[in-house]
């Protein structure tokens, strides 16, 4: 019996390849000096929080119901937590009231992490006495409770970054109806069109991941984004090569990728 | 133990070790790694159960405060929420979650209400479409046209009135939509792997809190 599971040798090679390229770029970051393009949706978050301060209405920062314990949902939730860190820092600094609803079983796993992130924002701004965890972090177990939050609080800004299911459309519309400026992003393919249609700014799929790199401008993080882009080019070459080979009746590459 | 060690270094080490075990379990055929990974997944279920307790406390505290403040009519809904919350809790703990009593209140209260939310999404979707389908730019015009084609093609009798709409819809779904979905999926997959790299090796630390607050 081989050490590596059947059909996963190339997958493992690709994983090591992506990590390896990212590590090399990090090592040579001073020489390569990668830059990251402007992301309008992320820039709009500060504008949205500022709007909330002017209108004296709260900011809602929703990280979705994916949670941290289920593989495919954990990383979009991590991206949401990164944005929560950024939003909480701006909201506390500008004096906006922040509400972070935690939805469903996935959201409840994230309550302790989100609480610490927001508490640290208050501590960093020297206003820890204003931090009321039960008012900021709200466990809302069903979709309707988030809609009720929109109707009751009438936020000026709604930021939804994380993993969402069909509730994305309902919530985007519910918050849109109360006049909130909306920034949405998810990796669930089938919900991206709803965000694209209902939100003022949208992050499509992978765009939710480089938020920390974009905000911090840390060369190490930007180097990993460059590694990702390099592997996209490699994937593109493989796709074109594979299409040509299969069309000409050669299954060599197809069989290789199945190893 | 310093705050930096407890709040940053140890969590990063734990994340790395657990992540490597789970990745190893996927790619490698080693019995000990598989057993360890299964244990970790069971720990996750226990963690989630404790987290649910945290969520319950959050609900109780917030709604008790709402009742005390008695602002508007929200406090009446808060009373009802706490009543239903304790009803389910007492019946579930007292009689069991598979008992006829619990099943009865589940089927008569929770299921119909949950079922009501799904049709409600249709009205929200229609409202969102109305607000979205205003042709303010060339991209919005394309969005409107393609959306209209898909809506018409999905109506059964449109195939009889406008026969070309069915193969047009199929072409849009099989070529354009599939290509776009695969492109986005490729990006998501690569982005997920790279974010996983950053989290496992401690480059992504937003979830660990702010250094200046520690």
Q: Strand A137-140 to strand A157-163: parallel, antiparallel, or no bridges (unpaired)? A: unpaired
Q: Strand A59-64 to strand A98-103: parallel, antiparallel, or no bridges (unpaired)? A: parallel
- Tell me: do B91 and B56 sit in the same domain: no
Tell if the CB–CB gap between B62 and A138 is shorter than 8 Å: yes
The pair of three-digit structure tokens given for residue B3, joined into one six-digit string: 């705050």
Question: What is the count of structural domains for chain B?
Answer: 3
Among the candidates B120, B155, B189, a domain finishes at B120
Contact in structure between A171 and A60 (CB atoms under 8 Å) = no
Per-10-residue mean pLDDT of chain B, 214 residues long, equals 80 93 92 92 86 87 90 85 93 91 91 80 77 69 82 85 89 92 93 93 83 57
- Tell me: do B141 and B83 sit in the same domain: no
Judge whether A256 is closer than 8 Å to chain B, CB to CB: no
What is the model's pLDDT at position B151?
84
Phi–psi pair at A198, nearest 5 degrees: -100, -25
- Tell me: do B139 and B192 sit in the same domain: yes
What's the pTM value of the predicted model, to 2 decimals? Answer: 0.89
CA distance A114 to A107: 10
Please check whether residue B148 lies inside any domain of the structure: yes
Q: Compute CA distances A14 → A19, A76, A135, B58, whole Å.
A: 9, 21, 45, 43
- Tell me: do B46 and B89 sit in the same domain: no
- Closest Cα in chain A to B81: A145
The three-class DSSP label of residue B151 is helix
Contact in structure between A91 and A156 (CB atoms under 8 Å) = no
Percentage of chain A beyond pLDDT 90 is: 62
Q: Residue B135: which H helix or E strand, with range?
A: none
Judge whether B172 is closer than 8 Å to chain A, CB to CB: no
What is the model's pLDDT at position A154?
94
- A201-204 sheet: strands from edge to edge: A137-140, A98-103, A59-64, A157-163, A181-186, A201-204
Please check whether residue B53 lies inside any domain of the structure: yes
What is the model's pLDDT at position A160?
96
Judge whether B55 is closer than 8 Å to chain A, CB to CB: yes
Please check whether residue B127 lies inside any domain of the structure: no
Residue range A172-220, pLDDT digits in tens: 989 999 999 999 999 999 999 889 888 999 999 999 999 989 988 899 9
The pair of three-digit structure tokens given for residue A252, joined into one six-digit string: 């060599």
The A residues from 38 to 57 touching B (CB cutoff 8 Å) are none
What is the model's pLDDT at position A109?
84
Please check whether residue B28 lies inside any domain of the structure: yes
Region of A186 (left: φ > 0; alpha: ψ -120 to 50; beta: rest) is beta
ipTM: 0.90
Distance (Å) from the alpha carbon of B54 to chain A's nearest alpha carbon? 7
Judge whether A204 is closer than 8 Å to chain B, CB to CB: yes
The pair of three-digit structure tokens given for residue A227, joined into one six-digit string: 């590694």
- Tell me: do B60 and B94 sit in the same domain: no
Please check whether residue B212 lies inside any domain of the structure: no
- Tell me: do B88 and B144 sit in the same domain: no
Q: Which of A127-131, A222-226, B46-50, B77-81 has the lowest mean pLDDT?
A: B46-50
- Tell me: do B24 and B43 sit in the same domain: yes
Tell if the CB–CB gap between B124 and A173 is shorter than 8 Å: yes
Q: What is the span of the domain harbouring residue B62?
A: 1-69
Please check whether residue B126 lies inside any domain of the structure: no
Distance (Å) from the alpha carbon of B35 to chain A's nearest alpha carbon? 16
What is the model's pLDDT at position A27?
93
Residue A69 has its nearest CB partner, among B30, B44, B61, at B44
The pair of three-digit structure tokens given for residue A170, joined into one six-digit string: 């309902």
The three-class DSSP label of residue A1 is coil
Judge whether B127 is closer than 8 Å to chain A, CB to CB: yes
The pair of three-digit structure tokens given for residue B99, joined into one six-digit string: 């008992």
Judge whether A240 is closer than 8 Å to chain B, CB to CB: no
What is the model's pLDDT at position B73?
78
Other Cβ atoms within 10 Å of B3 Cβ, number = 11
Q: Can you say whether the dihedral through the CA atoms of A215, A218, A220, A226 is positive or negative?
A: positive
CA distance B57 to B52: 9
CA distance B192 to A120: 26
- Tell me: do B19 and B57 sit in the same domain: yes
What is the model's pLDDT at position B119?
78
Region of B17 (left: φ > 0; alpha: ψ -120 to 50; beta: rest) is alpha
- Tell me: do B2 and B42 sit in the same domain: yes
Residue range A15-66, pLDDT digits in tens: 999 999 999 999 998 888 899 999 999 999 999 999 999 999 999 999 998 8
Q: Find chain B residues with C-beta within 8 A of A216's C-beta.
A: none
Judge whether A199 is closer than 8 Å to chain B, CB to CB: no
DSSP state of A200: S
- Tell me: do B97 and B141 sit in the same domain: no
Residue A242 banded pLDDT, cuts 50, 70, 90 = very high
Q: Which residues are CB-neighbours of B185 under 8 A, at least 6 positions away? A: A189, A205
Q: How many interchain CB pairs under 8 A, A with B?
A: 194
- Tell me: do B4 and B58 sit in the same domain: yes
Q: Can you say whether the dihedral through the CA atoms of A122, A125, A126, A130 is positive or negative?
A: negative
Residue B47 has its nearest CB partner, among A69, A75, A120, at A69
Please check whether residue B93 lies inside any domain of the structure: yes
What is the model's pLDDT at position A140?
87
Mean pLDDT of chain A: 91
CA distance B183 to A192: 13
Of the candidates A208, A237, A239, A219, the one whose C-alpha atom is nearest the C-alpha of residue A22 is A219
What is the model's pLDDT at position A198?
85
Residue B207 has its nearest CB partner, among A78, A198, A210, at A78
Q: Residue A160: which H helix or E strand, with range?
A: strand A157-163
Contact in structure between A142 and A166 (CB atoms under 8 Å) = no
- Tell me: do B63 and B81 sit in the same domain: no
Please check whether residue B214 lies inside any domain of the structure: no
Judge whether A67 is closer than 8 Å to chain B, CB to CB: yes
């Amino acid at each position: 019996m081989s050490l590596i599971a059947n059909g996963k040798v190339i997958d493992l090679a690709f994983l090591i390849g992506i990590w390896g390229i990212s590590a090399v770029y990090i090592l040579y970051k001073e020489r390569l000096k990668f830059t990251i393009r402007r992301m309008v949706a992320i820039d709009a978050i500060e504008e949205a929080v500022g709007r909330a301060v002017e209108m004296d209405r709260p900011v809602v920062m929703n990280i979705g119901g994916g949670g941290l314990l289920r593989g495919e949902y954990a990383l979009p939730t991590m991206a949401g937590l990164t944005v929560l860190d950024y939003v909480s820092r701006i909201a506390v600094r500008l004096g906006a009231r922040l509400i972070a609803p935690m939805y469903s079983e996935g959201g409840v796993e994230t309550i302790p992490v989100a609480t610490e992130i927001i508490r640290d924002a208050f501590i960093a701004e020297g206003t820890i006495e204003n931090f009321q965890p039960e008012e900021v972090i709200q466990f809302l177990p069903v979709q309707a409770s988030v809609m009720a939050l929109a109707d009751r609080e009438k936020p000026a800004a709604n930021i939804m970054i994380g993993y969402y299911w069909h509730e994305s459309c309902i919530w985007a519309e519910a918050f849109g109806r109360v006049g909130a400026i909306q920034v949405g992003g998810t990796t669930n393919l089938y919900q991206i069109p709803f965000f694209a249609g209902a939100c003022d700014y949208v992050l499509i799929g992978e765009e939710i991941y480089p938020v920390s790199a974009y905000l911090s401008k840390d060369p190490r993080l930007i180097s990993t984004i460059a590694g990702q882009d390099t592997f996209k080019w490699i994937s593109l070459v493989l796709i074109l090569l594979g299409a040509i080979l299969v069309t000409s009746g050669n299954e060599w590459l197809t069989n290789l990728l199945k190893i | 133990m310093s705050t930096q060690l407890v709040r940053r270094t140890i969590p990063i080490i734990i994340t790395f070790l657990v992540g490597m075990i789970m990745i190893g379990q996927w790619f490698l055929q080693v019995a000990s790694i598989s057993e360890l990974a299964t244990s970790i997944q069971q720990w996750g279920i226990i963690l989630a159960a404790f987290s649910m307790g945290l969520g319950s406390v959050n609900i109780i505290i917030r709604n008790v405060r709402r009742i005390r403040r008695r602002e508007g009519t929200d406090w009446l809904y808060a009373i009802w929420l706490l009543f239903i919350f304790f009803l389910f809790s007492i019946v579930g703990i007292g009689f069991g979650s598979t008992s006829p009593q619990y099943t009865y209140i589940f089927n008569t209260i929770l299921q119909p209400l949950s079922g009501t939310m799904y049709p409600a999404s249709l009205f929200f979707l229609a409202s969102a479409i109305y607000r979205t389908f205003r042709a303010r730019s060339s991209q919005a015009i394309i969005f409107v046209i393609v959306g209209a084609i898909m809506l018409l093609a999905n109506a059964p009798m449109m195939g009889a009135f406008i026969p070309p709409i069915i193969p047009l819809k199929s072409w849009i779904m099989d070529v354009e939509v599939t290509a776009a979905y695969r492109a986005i999926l490729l990006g998501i997959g690569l982005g997920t792997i790279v974010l996983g790299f950053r989290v496992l090796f401690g480059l992504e630390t937003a979830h660990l809190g702010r250094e200046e607050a520690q």
